[in-house]
Amino acid sequence: MIPPEIPHKLVLEIANTFGTPVYVYHAEAIQYQYKRLLMAFPNVKVKLHYALKALNNVNILRLLKAEGAGLDAVSIQEVQLGLRAGFKPSQIMYTPNCVDFEEIKQAAELGVHMNIDNISILEHFGNEFGSSLPCCIRLNPHIMAGGHTHTSVGHIDSKFGISIYQIRHVLRIITSLNIRVNGLHMHTGSDILDAGVFLQGADLLFDAARNFPDLEFMDFGSGFKVGYKPDDIVTDIEEIGKKISLAFLAFCKDYGRDLELWFEPGKFIVSGAGSLLVKANVVKQTTSTVFVGVDSGQNHLLRPMFYDAYHHIENISNPDGVRRLYSVVGYICETDTLGYDRNLPEVREGDILRIKNTGAYGFSMSNNYNARLRPPEVLVMDGVAHLIRKREIMEDLTRNEVWIDTIKQES
């Protein structure tokens, strides 16, 4: 059953209690999306490793751990966050990119699953560990997928993965250095709508897999599209799940044994469960536009400026007001527009606006530009709002500065 949205009354209470800006997450919506994705792949052994780069608050990780999720980590710090949240090393897949080999060694010492996406690192790995430590290999299928060049990561110009056309080289390395490969990985990008992209990549991965006799799993990444606009086109995960499952089962039969099918969803699980609440500081009319300036900006929600991403905006203080056209902008000294030409119920100074679908890559991409402080995070569970991260204070901004006494001051 689809969980209802957090009621407007409770959202306003959260804004009044914790102040704005504030990130709000819906626990039941996160749990629903996880279970929906897990059930979408019938008759196969599925493991979901949540991509914690999307949202890494310890309470979100604990919530998903209770559902049975593993983790996909892209840095040693994310690995450490996962261990801190109570995940076992065997539940964490470490998929770094362009890191120093010392970080690879640190992750190996912690005992997590290793995913290698670079031939030179693969050689380092083999020389260091030989067959004593298995690894997964990330392949680049050279498929353009997703809705933005920033979010398509499996094309020929991408920095991610080892080219599918370098398999011969990879095989020579693993044979020479006695590397034990237990998994193959592929991730083409985000906002994928139809099964064709996955199946196209799957066929390439299946062909490659026949060269690796000791596989235990295949990781298809993620990238399922979620809705950002009302009535937006989204991935039909149940339809895609059936098609991928059938193809995977056919491959396993041909391969000679059943493997596990892994995915690493992030946005699909948490995006729709999050909102950013902001306050209208000013309503400013110019010769061409009416701006609503809010107490947040690209420092808290980078996606609109970085990806040209759309986030639906609601006026929850005046939902029945006369509708007018506004551009919603932030308080950062940049052009940090959060929404162009939005038809909203009349916005008055002091109104609370709700920016939706900010559960993924919202807080986790936030920063302190203009010396602004990061907002708090609140998790609503069973109708109760829980503070899960405090609002930053000035001491957080200056904590790691070192004062040099020898700098001369004017008298």
Which residue numbers are catalytic? 333
**Any bridge partners for residue 352, and if so which?**
279
Q: What is the DSSP string of 360-374?
A: SSSGGG---GGGPPP
CB-neighbour burial class of residue 201 (10 A; exposed 0-12, middle 13-18, buried 19+): buried
CA separation for the pair 92, 88 (Å, rounded): 7
* Separation CA 154–CA 205 (nearest Å): 13
**Which distant-in-sequence residues (6+ apart) come within 8 Å of 228 by Cβ?**
309, 310, 311, 312, 356, 357
Neighbours of 203 (CB within 10 A): 13
Query: The tokens 């005046």 sit on which residue?
Result: 318
Cα distance between residue 269 and residue 34, in whole Å: 6
**Look-up of token digits 């689809």:** 2
* SS3 of residue 224 by DSSP: strand
Going by the DSSP 8-state scheme, the letter that residue 237 receives in this structure is H
403 torsion bin: left (phi>0), alpha (psi -120 to 50), beta (else): beta
Q: Give the angle 240-243-246 at the CA atoms, nearest 5°.
A: 145
DSSP output for 276-333: EEEEEEEEEE-SS-EEEEES--TTT--HHHHH-----EEESSSTTSPEEEEEEE-SSS
